[in-house]
């Protein structure tokens, strides 16, 4: 990649209504993932690993959790003025309203583009789990002399109604673009698949600035619905095939090109299964392309006994004697008491599962206490009277209201390392 001056806008204002109740008190990009990450960490890590380090995170709904996470986890270097991740709420520069769409969000911050004078602007989403070397997309953009490049990948036709669908020539030149069509255009090479936009764009700056001005004058607010279809008539738009992206350090047993939309509870749960096992579909350990997150200062996990099979344990977690944990992810500072059984579960931070409880196919959000002997995940009708149950049968216990500083969840009389 040449020394193109690039700044990035990360669209991190997602409400995440299909992830309720996990998004009751936080935005979708702030939802925890795996044993120590947040969803937003994946796009930020991809940008930083790709040497794009001037990053504006555009937030909106229920943003405080995300703001705190970025403050503690994403300070790059105060000595290098052009290397930062900073949070930008709606500035209301163009009127007294929140971001009305992706294009409006960038347009409300057009002064930041004018300040940095980049040659290219990356506009990326914050809602997906993936690794991507964005430098390769930038090289593609430059080689094609593109005005706009859109990252895309094949998806099953039945799922394509949730995406922008692209029809492109062999060299990637886009000839049609449909935003969430009821009847997606299939690939010529595979009628069961469609070429879907990942919502990640590279713009040549002059083209973007002019397009944003025209969009504002026309009352247009969204890239996918408005700006891109209009630009298609007059400019060079290309689809960058994400399947060609090469990441160093990917193991032979992994899905070589991994990308998951975790926009609903079942997809979110299934993506966690992809990181488990001796040969996971998506191996989170890759020193050549790390996923960064908070520098948590607590101790390592402690296992006093029990049976553990195919599990990830977060820092400062305590597992007591007689506990059984199978195919599960336990985040930090959780306590699993004696004779607890967890099967196919996601237990988030600061949760205590009390003696003898048995949970199966459950997501337990932060700051919860599961009472002794409780059984959850065995009777969906009974569970749905107390909790949310996904269409796929995942029982979700919403975030609790246990004050971490009022009640010691570890039973030690000490405060935790809560962030």
DSSP H helical segments within 80-127, as ranges? 102-107, 110-116
pLDDT computed for residue 95 by the predictor: 59
Q: Percentage of residues in the chain with pLDDT exceeding 70?
A: 93
Q: Which two tokens stand for residue 57?
A: 């995170």
CB-based contacts of 52: which residues, under 8 Å, 6+ apart?
6, 7, 8, 122, 134
In this structure, the answer to whether residues 227 and 169 fall within a common structural domain is yes
In this structure, the answer to whether residues 245 and 339 fall within a common structural domain is no
- Which pLDDT band holds residue 92 (cuts at 50, 70, 90)? low
**Whether pLDDT at 250 is above 60:** yes
In this structure, the answer to whether residues 370 and 232 fall within a common structural domain is no
**Whether pLDDT at 381 is above 50:** yes
Asked if 80 and 164 touch (Cβ cutoff 8 Å), the reply is no
pLDDT computed for residue 89 by the predictor: 82
What is the distance, to the nearest Å, from the Cα of residue 328 to the centroid of all Cα atoms in its chain? 20
In this structure, the answer to whether residues 239 and 344 fall within a common structural domain is no
Whole-number Å distance between alpha carbons of 116 and 139: 21
- Which pLDDT band holds residue 238 (cuts at 50, 70, 90)? very high
CB atoms near residue 171 (< 10 Å): 8
**Residue 213 belongs to domain with CATH number:** 3.90.550.10
Cα–Cα nearest to 200, from 168, 241, 233, 157: 241
In this structure, the answer to whether residues 65 and 170 fall within a common structural domain is yes
Asked if 29 and 167 touch (Cβ cutoff 8 Å), the reply is no
In this structure, the answer to whether residues 205 and 347 fall within a common structural domain is no
Asked if 43 and 50 touch (Cβ cutoff 8 Å), the reply is no
Phi, psi (5° rounding) for residue 85? -120, 115
- Which pLDDT band holds residue 407 (cuts at 50, 70, 90)? very low
CB atoms near residue 115 (< 10 Å): 10
**Whether pLDDT at 412 is above 80:** no
In this structure, the answer to whether residues 23 and 140 fall within a common structural domain is yes
pLDDT computed for residue 413 by the predictor: 38
Q: Which two tokens stand for residue 260?
A: 């998951």
Domain contains 132? yes
Domain contains 278? no
Domain contains 199? yes
In this structure, the answer to whether residues 52 and 144 fall within a common structural domain is yes
C-alpha pair distances (Å), 277 with each of 247, 257, 281, 347: 21, 18, 9, 17
- Looking at 199, 230, 261, which one is the last position of a domain? 261
- Looking at 261, 288, 310, which one is the last position of a domain? 261
- Find the domain containing 216 and state its range: 6-252+257-261
Whole-number Å distance between alpha carbons of 157 and 136: 27
Beta strand 341-347 pairing with 324-330: parallel
Cα–Cα nearest to 386, from 366, 405, 364: 364
Domain contains 294? no
Q: Which residues pair with 11 in a beta bridge?
A: 58, 125
Q: Which two tokens stand for residue 406?
A: 């009022």
In this structure, the answer to whether residues 244 and 367 fall within a common structural domain is no
Asked if 187 and 170 touch (Cβ cutoff 8 Å), the reply is no
What is the distance, to the nearest Å, from the Cα of residue 28 to the centroid of all Cα atoms in its chain? 7
Cα–Cα nearest to 58, from 106, 128, 127, 17: 106
In this structure, the answer to whether residues 48 and 173 fall within a common structural domain is yes
Taken in order 369, 312, 29, 63, is the CA torsion positive or negative?
positive
What is the distance, to the nearest Å, from the Cα of residue 344 to the centroid of all Cα atoms in its chain? 21
**Residue 359 belongs to domain with CATH number:** 2.160.10.10
User: What is the chain's mean pLDDT, rounded?
Assistant: 91
Domain contains 277? no
Q: Which two tokens stand for residue 347?
A: 């237990």
Give 403 or 36, the one with higher predicted confidence. 36
Phi, psi (5° rounding) for residue 344? 55, 60
DSSP state of 73: H
Q: Which two tokens stand for residue 257?
A: 């090109």
Reduced to 3 states (helix: H, G, I; strand: E, B; else coil), residue 138 is helix
Whole-number Å distance between alpha carbons of 94 and 104: 9
**Whether pLDDT at 408 is above 70:** no
Domain contains 415? no
DSSP H helical segments within 254-410, as ranges? 265-273, 380-384
CB-based contacts of 114: which residues, under 8 Å, 6+ apart?
none
Q: Which two tokens stand for residue 54?
A: 């001037």
Give 224 or 339, the one with higher predicted confidence. 339
In the chain, the number of structural domains is 2
Asked if 262 and 126 touch (Cβ cutoff 8 Å), the reply is no
Q: Interhelix angle for 40-49 vs 64-73, to 10°? A: 40
Domain contains 270? no
In this structure, the answer to whether residues 309 and 215 fall within a common structural domain is no
In this structure, the answer to whether residues 181 and 317 fall within a common structural domain is no
**Whether pLDDT at 76 is above 70:** yes
pLDDT computed for residue 290 by the predictor: 97
pLDDT tens digits for 158-173? 889 888 899 999 899 9
pLDDT tens digits for 264-316? 999 999 999 999 999 999 999 999 999 999 888 889 999 999 999 999 999 99
Query: Omega of the bond prior to 345 within 30 degrees of 0, cis?
Result: no
pLDDT computed for residue 418 by the predictor: 55
pLDDT computed for residue 177 by the predictor: 86
- Angle at alpha carbon of residue 130, lines to 129 and 136, rounded to 5°: 150
pLDDT tens digits for 327-349? 999 999 999 999 999 999 999 99
DSSP state of 198: E
Domain contains 419? no
């Amino acid at each position: 990649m040449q020394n193109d001056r690039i700044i990035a806008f990360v669209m991190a204002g997602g409400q995440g209504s299909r992830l309720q109740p996990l998004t009751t008190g936080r935005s979708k990009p702030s939802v925890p993932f795996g044993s120590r990450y947040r969803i937003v960490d994946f796009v930020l890590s991809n940008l930083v690993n790709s040497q794009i380090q001037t990053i504006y995170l555009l937030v909106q709904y229920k943003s405080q959790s995300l703001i705190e996470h970025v403050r503690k986890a994403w300070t790059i270097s105060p000595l290098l003025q052009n290397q930062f991740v900073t949070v930008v709420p709606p500035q209301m520069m163009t009127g007294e309203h929140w971001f009305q769409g992706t294009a409006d969000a960038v347009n409300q911050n057009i002064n930041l583009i004018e300040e940095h004078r980049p040659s290219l602007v990356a506009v990326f989403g914050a809602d997906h789990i993936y690794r991507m070397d964005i430098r390769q997309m930038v090289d593609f953009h430059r080689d094609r002399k593109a005005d706009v490049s859109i990252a895309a990948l094949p998806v099953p036709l039945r799922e394509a109604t949730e995406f922008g669908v692209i029809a492109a020539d062999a060299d990637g030149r886009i000839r049609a673009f449909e935003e969430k069509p009821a009847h997606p255009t299939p690939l010529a090479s595979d009628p069961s698949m469609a070429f879907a936009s990942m919502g990640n764009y590279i713009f040549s700056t002059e083209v973007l600035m002019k397009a944003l001005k025209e969009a504002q004058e026309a009352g247009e607010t969204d890239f996918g619905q408005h700006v891109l279809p209009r630009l298609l008539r007059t400019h060079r738009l290309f689809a960058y095939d994400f399947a060609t992206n090469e990441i160093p350090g990917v193991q032979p047993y992994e899905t070589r090109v991994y990308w998951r939309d975790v926009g609903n509870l079942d997809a979110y749960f299934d993506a966690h299964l992809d990181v488990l096992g001796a040969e996971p579909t998506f191996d989170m350990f890759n020193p050549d392309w790390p996923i960064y997150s908070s520098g948590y200062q607590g101790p390592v996990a402690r296992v006093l006994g029990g049976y553990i099979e195919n599990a990830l344990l977060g820092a400062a977690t305590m597992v007591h004697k007689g506990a059984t944990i199978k195919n599960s992810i336990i985040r930090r500072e959780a306590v699993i008491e004696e004779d607890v059984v967890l099967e196919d579960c996601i237990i988030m931070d600061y949760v205590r599962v009390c003696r003898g409880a048995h949970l199966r196919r459950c997501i337990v959000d932060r700051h919860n206490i599961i009472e002794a002997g409780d059984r959850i995940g065995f009777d969906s009708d009974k569970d749905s009277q107390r909790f949310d149950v996904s269409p796929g049968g995942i029982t979700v216990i919403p975030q609790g209201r246990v004050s971490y500083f009022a009640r010691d969840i570890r039973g030690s009389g000490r405060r935790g390392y809560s962030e």
